[in-house]
Amino acid sequence: MSVSRVTVVESPIARYEQSVIDRIADFEDPRQEWRRLFSELFGTFLLVLVAAGGGMMGHAFPGVITRTDAVVAPGLMVMGVILFMGKVSGAHLNPAVSIAFALRRDFPWWRVPGYIIMQLAGATLAALFLHAILNVSATYGSNYPSAAYSATAAFWMEAILTLGLVSVILGTASGAQNVGLFGAIGVAGYIALAGLWGSPISGASMNPARTFGPDLVSGNFSHYLVYVAGPIAGACVAVVIAFVLRGRGGGASGSGAGQGALFTETHDPGNP
């Protein structure tokens, strides 16, 4: 008596859903936390290296770096960082982004403090490095309201610029808009564009960590509250807009983008 064997073929959709589950489970593995924290430290270091470096290098070598150079460089660096380590930690590089992902339910709140500490540390290390190499005050690499405008005007500029930035980040990390790692192009393009038109008033920081590092190294926190309150306010409004546009977060694509995905084990597709 022969027994027929039934072969169950797993659909591509089922395999994709299982891969998402595996990635999220991997992200929640506490043994990998140090990799993600280091990723945020290193990524933010690189971002602030060029963001603060534009102003500091421009002061050390007058006429070499234009305002356009200084505001486009951070966008290009963010694109590179997202492409090479976005799958490790999500490449937040910004406390406002970490808070937004958590509010959106795409990132666990208990991870937020560690990410923010690493972002602040990375920014500080970059400012220290620049100061040591260039022997130029880190104030030239920080952000301050323009002399012609008030701190209130700078606050509103930071809030609206960050609203756009976080909207782009949350949008390219969700549903049909998720274009994978090429979302880095959208984020980088927005950072460069926002800097081109918004930097004369506030410096277009959009990132409390980016301003914190140079302020700490220079000891000048005279307007730092603007660069904390503005970006966080903008990020919170962006979360509300994301809810209006796409409903509640917490989905597979948004969570995968916000959390990163470390593959710590290899599997032979032919030998599951």
192-230 pLDDT, tens digit per residue, is 999 999 999 999 999 999 999 999 999 999 999 999 999
For residue 104, the enclosing domain spans 17-259
- Which one-letter amino acid corresponds to residue 213? G
Can you tell me the distance from the alpha carbon of 167 to that of 169, in angstroms, rounded to the nearest whole number?
Answer: 5
What is the model's pLDDT at position 256?
Answer: 60
Query: Is there a domain that residue 139 lies in?
Result: yes
Can you tell me the distance from the alpha carbon of 205 to that of 62, in angstroms, rounded to the nearest whole number?
Answer: 22
**Whether pLDDT at 27 is above 50:** yes
Query: Is there a domain that residue 266 lies in?
Result: no
Span 10-16, average pLDDT: 58
What is the model's pLDDT at position 87?
Answer: 84
Query: Is there a domain that residue 154 lies in?
Result: yes
Number of compact structural domains in the chain: 1
**Whether pLDDT at 231 is above 90:** yes
pTM: 0.82
Span 243-260, average pLDDT: 69
Query: Is there a domain that residue 6 lies in?
Result: no
What single DSSP character describes residue 147?
T
* pLDDT band at residue 23 under the 50/70/90 scheme: low
**CATH number of the domain within which 71 lies:** 1.20.1080.10
Range with the lowest mean pLDDT among 1-10, 28-37, 88-97, 177-186? 1-10
Query: Is there a domain that residue 244 lies in?
Result: yes
Do residues 69 and 63 lie in contact, with contact meaning Cβ atoms separated by under 8 Å?
no
Query: Is there a domain that residue 62 lies in?
Result: yes
Span 41-48, average pLDDT: 97
Query: Is there a domain that residue 3 lies in?
Result: no
> Could you give the 3-state DSSP secondary structure of residue 1?
coil
Query: Is there a domain that residue 268 lies in?
Result: no
pLDDT tens-digit map of 133-160: 999 999 999 999 999 999 999 999 999 9
Most confident of the ranges 12-16, 63-67, 82-86, 128-132: 128-132
What is the model's pLDDT at position 180?
Answer: 55
pLDDT tens-digit map of 170-192: 988 765 445 556 788 899 999 99
Can you tell me the distance from the alpha carbon of 249 to that of 90, in angstroms, rounded to the nearest whole number?
Answer: 16
Can you tell me the distance from the alpha carbon of 206 to that of 236, in angstroms, rounded to the nearest whole number?
Answer: 13
